[in-house]
Chains A and B, each alone.
Chain A
Amino acid sequence: MTRTIELASRVLAKVSGRADAEVVVTGGVSALTRFANSFIHQNVAEEGYEVSIRVAVDGRVNSAATTSLDDLDAFVENTIDVASLQRVDENWPGLTPPIDVTDPKHYDKATAKATPADRADQVADFVAAGPDMRAAGYCETVGHNVAFVNTAGHRAFGRYTRATIDGIHQIDGAAGAGHATSKAFAGLDGSEVGALAAGRAQRGVGAYDIKPGEYEVVLAPECVATIGIFLSFYGFNGKQHAEGQSFVELGEKQFDASINLYDNPHDSRALGVGFDAEGTPRQRLDLINNGVTQAVAHDRRTAAKAGTHSTGHGDSGSEQWGPLPTHVFLAEGEASVDEMIASVERGLYVSTFNYCRVLDPKALSVTGLTRNGTFMIENGKITGAVTNLRFTQSFVEALGQGNVEAIGNDARFADSEFGPGLLHVPSLHLEKWNFTGGAAG
């Protein structure tokens, strides 16, 4: 804590009253052990800090970042000089005033100190769970500190850890995936995650082609996380909303009444620190309550334009891409996965989506594929595996009124193609999903 706060304060002091300024120092250690064909083939670690500064010289704004701590005088001077040459930013929202920040306490000391041998042990457990299979995936540990200071007198410090084991087992052309993310390395169980992946792979052997079309589906948490991140990025994003590119209509019942979606960095299961890159405290933000759209995420800039307050989503890149929720929870239901499958007469169980891309952001029409296990459900039972399918589907309509048959009781962190630890979601049973292509096109 002392080092990052001191470094941030030292950089801020160099501004010497010539600009409004905010400084963020982030860094620490991160390490990732990667395996394929059941052996560790890539194994990396890094340590270091990055200093970011944003200055406003009479409303002329400039941002800069560096990992080089040798010449911070020149770094600050150059940032101010470039700002001085800019046009006045009429939408500069000013700095966050001093305000209390609550630490969500998402830090685990042992995780920050995890060794290459610790990660290799997790990998070995994952691999061993699939005898005679080919395993691939990664085990990652992160321990980061974040310090914020600004010339308005606001200071904040936080630290967090994250640990992930994620991978697949492969056999005879079939693959199955497993994933676990936690703030604590001790919360991971490579054997359990590996067994889930191996079981899915074994059941995937002998997959056959089916005709595309509308199918009832049970979606595993990875698929639901993908839906969630697209809703967040393209919808609950204050910039996209202000620009008219979001599907969000505040106060409207846009989703099934069973859907409750919220962003809450203070949930005991969440990850990260208690403030954003502008120093704004993060708080719970309800996005959908009983199917009714409630809010979008704001940083200071989008909030000022919308005449409201920042919701604490001013993260790196939000000026360009917009503020988006990254501590997302979809409230659990009561159904078990077995119960959801048992209620399907003819449909599909989908383990993972792959390579999803938006065709139109406003309609949130998305195309993508299934991957790592797609299974036919007939008369309430999984009867076999099918080959991967392409879908073209509006993610808003997927969660629309009447299309959500059941919500699972199995919520957990699931990767969404955007990285681990962003969404904590259960399985979903949906009445229909639009598959537009099979393995043969």
Chain B
Amino acid sequence: MFDLAQAAVEGALAAGAQYADARVVISKHQSIAVLNAEPQSIDQAERAGIGVRALTGSGWGFYATSNLSAGAARNAGEQSAVISKASASVPGPDMPLADVPVVEDFYETPHEEDPFAIPVSEKVDLLIAVTKTMQEVDGIALATGNMNFWDTNKWFVSSQGHRIHQHLVESGGGYDATALGDGETQRRSYPQSFGQYETGGYEAVRKWDYLGNAGRIAEEAAALLSAPELEEGDKSLILEGSQLALQIHESVGHAIELDRILGWEAAFAGTSHLELPKLNTHLYGSPLMNITADATLPGALGTFGYDDEGTAAQCVDIVKEGTWVGVLSGRDSASVAGLPPGGMVRGDGYNRLPMVRMTNVGILPGDSSLDEIIADTKDGVYMATNRSWSIDDKRLNFQFGCEIAWEVKDGKLGRMVKNPTYTGITPQFWGQLDMLAGGDEWIHWGTPNCGKGQPMQVAHTGHSAAPGRFATVRVGVRA
């Protein structure tokens, strides 16, 4: 496969490009869905092809084909150069690539059980058992289970001499129970909304004890129908780990993408409230806020060996004791900003242009625990598991909804409340972080559905988090 990638790079150079790189990608994806103890869909997809990037002057071009012949690979390279020249007709500033070590290497995701070697029937049987258990709870109308597995091989070659082969394995799944009431639906999910995904093999499914939690999840969904609504007001807000992970994803992870900060995503995903001259001085949150982007965390969903520009995975400080200190970057964006390249550029398959994506953007653990946080809270609400998420194009004004919440009064969990929502402005909200659980409750939550780019790309990202408390937050917003 290296030869195909090399042919593509040579095609681009021969057509006039000053730099080119190519990825041959062969990926397998297995998706299983079960609804109410019946298989709903069992799909397997294999996508194979080559994508070539060429730089001519200030213009980039990218061309992809599913034809993996040597001739087609070379032609793809030539086409990428033609496109790069068209880009230069509406020119911008020069985009030199930041220097990175030229590497020849192989990387493989550590995994115990090849998920594609586990029979489909075993996976379906587990999801049937889980959904059947949930259905046995009165009031549950819909019980859904899902699993997804990816096996990806990538061969990367650049005109600077990179030759990197990676074999990445990702696994996970989850389930949810839905109770239908009069004009409302209530849902509970496990391990988190949309499931929990990790780098690794089928062990990433086994460790979550699907069956042992199904009854509890279903009972909570049914109980929500008769629970009171969360009242609107300003309260102490305690977030369960997976919701805090999504809060990080939306209000930190996207905001620190250098392409957004530079305006390259202005029309679609948006920009950022962050301004580069304020790097190292801007106060992002309270002193408890320590955020890293760490692509080396074992098992986390955003872990790999090298990004799709051949830059090695690394851990970068993003927020240190509340101060903004780092960004997510690639070779061109880092060069423009005068920063070191972060190795955070990835493409969704062979046919998508690599772009700045989150790796594992997470908050380092504190020194408390959920029990201690609750015991310390006089008047608050504890919310768990995301249900809705919305944030503006600068990643400032957000509103999140959770599946379930409990009132917290005088240091104790109180009654269950439904339709919990909270809203805030990013730096003010993070400034309210005053308690954070420790390493025992720190989990590498995975987000398998991060959308960005045109054409749309879906990235798999990780967000390590433990439960945390925010001193005063507006909660209970509704239509």
B interface footprint on A362-400 (CB within 8 Å = 1, 0 otherwise): 110101110100000000000000001010111000000
A42 to B58, CA, bound (A): 11
Verify A436–B42 contact, CB threshold 8 A. no
A393 to B83, CA, bound (A): 44
Residues of A within 8 A of B477 (CB): 367, 392, 436-437
Known: A87-B124, A138-B267. A32 touches B454 (CB 8 A): yes
Residue among B41, B90, B392 making CB contact with A124, cutoff 8 Å: B90
Interface centre among B40, B79, B93, B397 (most CB of A within 10 A): B397
Verify B92–A357 contact, CB threshold 8 A. no
Chain A, residue nearest B185 (CB) = A362
Question: Does A1 count as interface, using CB distance less than 8 angstroms?
Answer: no
Verify A127–B90 contact, CB threshold 8 A. yes
Question: Does A335 count as interface, using CB distance less than 8 angstroms?
Answer: no
Verify B266–A64 contact, CB threshold 8 A. no
A70 to B66, CA, bound (A): 10
Question: Does B326 count as interface, using CB distance less than 8 angstroms?
Answer: no
User: Looking at the complex, which of A114-122, A275-283, A306-314, A422-430 is the stretch in contact with chain B?
Assistant: A114-122
Verify B421–A359 contact, CB threshold 8 A. yes
Known: A85-B119, A87-B39, A388-B397. A123 touches B90 (CB 8 A): yes
Q: Which of B318-359 contact A (CB under 8 A)?
A: 351-353, 355
Question: Does B294 count as interface, using CB distance less than 8 angstroms?
Answer: no
A167 to B266, CA, bound (A): 9
Verify A393–B479 contact, CB threshold 8 A. yes
Residues of A within 8 A of B92 (CB): 37-41
Q: How far is the CB of A351 from chain B (nearest CB, A)?
A: 13
Residues of B within 8 A of A436 (CB): 399, 423, 477, 479
B interface footprint on A208-247 (CB within 8 Å = 1, 0 otherwise): 0000000000000000000000000000000000011100
Question: Does B455 count as interface, using CB distance less than 8 angstroms?
Answer: yes
Verify B266–A168 contact, CB threshold 8 A. yes
Known: A37-B263, A41-B92. A358 touches B392 (CB 8 A): no
Residues of A within 8 A of B353 (CB): 42, 44
Give the number of chain B interface residues (Cβ < 8 Å): 85
Known: A359-B478, A371-B393. A67 touches B44 (CB 8 A): no
Verify B390–A86 contact, CB threshold 8 A. no
Question: Does B48 count as interface, using CB distance less than 8 angstroms?
Answer: yes
Question: Does B450 count as interface, using CB distance less than 8 angstroms?
Answer: no
Q: Which of B13-41 contact A (CB under 8 A)?
A: 26, 33, 38-41
Known: A34-B454, A439-B397, A441-B425. A45 touches B388 (CB 8 A): no
The 7 closest A-B pairs by CB, nearest first: A39-B92, A48-B66, A116-B86, A136-B267, A67-B66, A46-B64, A136-B266
Question: Does A102 count as interface, using CB distance less than 8 angstroms?
Answer: no
Interface centre among A45, A166, A243 (most CB of B within 10 A): A45
Verify B264–A30 contact, CB threshold 8 A. no
A89 to B89, CA, bound (A): 56
Known: A357-B390, A360-B185, A367-B390. A30 touches B86 (CB 8 A): no
A interface footprint on B108-150 (CB within 8 Å = 1, 0 otherwise): 0000000000011100100000000000000001100000000
Verify B478–A91 contact, CB threshold 8 A. no
Question: Does B409 count as interface, using CB distance less than 8 angstroms?
Answer: no
Known: A30-B455, A44-B455, A86-B120. A67 touches B48 (CB 8 A): yes
Q: Which of A143-184 contact B (CB under 8 A)?
A: 166-168, 170, 175, 177
Question: Does B11 count as interface, using CB distance less than 8 angstroms?
Answer: no
- 27 A-B residue pairs with Cβ-Cβ distance under 8 Å, sorted by A, are A27-B66, A34-B454, A41-B60, A42-B355, A43-B83, A45-B62, A46-B351, A64-B44, A67-B48, A68-B46, A68-B47, A78-B44, A82-B44, A116-B83, A116-B87, A120-B86, A123-B90, A136-B264, A167-B267, A177-B267, A319-B33, A319-B40, A319-B41, A360-B184, A392-B399, A392-B479, A436-B423
Residue among A36, A48, A124, A369 making CB contact with B89, cutoff 8 Å: A124
Q: Which of B458-479 contact A (CB under 8 A)?
A: 474, 477-479
Question: Does A61 count as interface, using CB distance less than 8 angstroms?
Answer: yes
Verify B266–A134 contact, CB threshold 8 A. yes
Residue among B45, B51, B474 making CB contact with A441, cutoff 8 Å: B474
A320 to B264, CA, bound (A): 34
Question: Does B152 count as interface, using CB distance less than 8 angstroms?
Answer: no
Residues of B within 8 A of A86 (CB): 39, 42, 120-121, 124
A371 to B45, CA, bound (A): 37
Verify B390–A42 contact, CB threshold 8 A. no
Residues of A at under 8 Å CB distance from B?
27, 30, 32-50, 61-70, 75, 78-79, 82, 85-87, 89-91, 115-117, 119-120, 123-124, 127, 134, 136-138, 140, 166-168, 170, 175, 177, 243-245, 319-320, 354-363, 365, 367-369, 371, 388, 390, 392-394, 419, 434, 436-437, 439-441
Verify A43–B44 contact, CB threshold 8 A. no
A342 to B147, CA, bound (A): 54
Q: How far is the CB of A104 from chain B (nearest CB, A)?
A: 24
Residue among B180, B267, B479 making CB contact with A394, cutoff 8 Å: B479
Chain B, residue nearest A436 (CB) = B477
Verify A357–B388 contact, CB threshold 8 A. yes
Verify A365–B478 contact, CB threshold 8 A. yes
A123 to B92, CA, bound (A): 13
A136 to B454, CA, bound (A): 12
Question: Does B230 count as interface, using CB distance less than 8 angstroms?
Answer: no
Known: A63-B43, A65-B43, A65-B46. A40 touches B397 (CB 8 A): no
A interface footprint on B403-443 (CB within 8 Å = 1, 0 otherwise): 00000000000000001010111001000000000000000
Question: Does B391 count as interface, using CB distance less than 8 angstroms?
Answer: yes
Known: A120-B87, A441-B474. A85 touches B180 (CB 8 A): no
Residues of B within 8 A of A140 (CB): 454-455
Q: How far is the CB of A111 from chain B (nearest CB, A)?
A: 17
Question: Does B265 count as interface, using CB distance less than 8 angstroms?
Answer: yes
Residues of B within 8 A of A393 (CB): 479
Verify A369–B60 contact, CB threshold 8 A. no
Residues of A within 8 A of B454 (CB): 32, 34, 138, 140
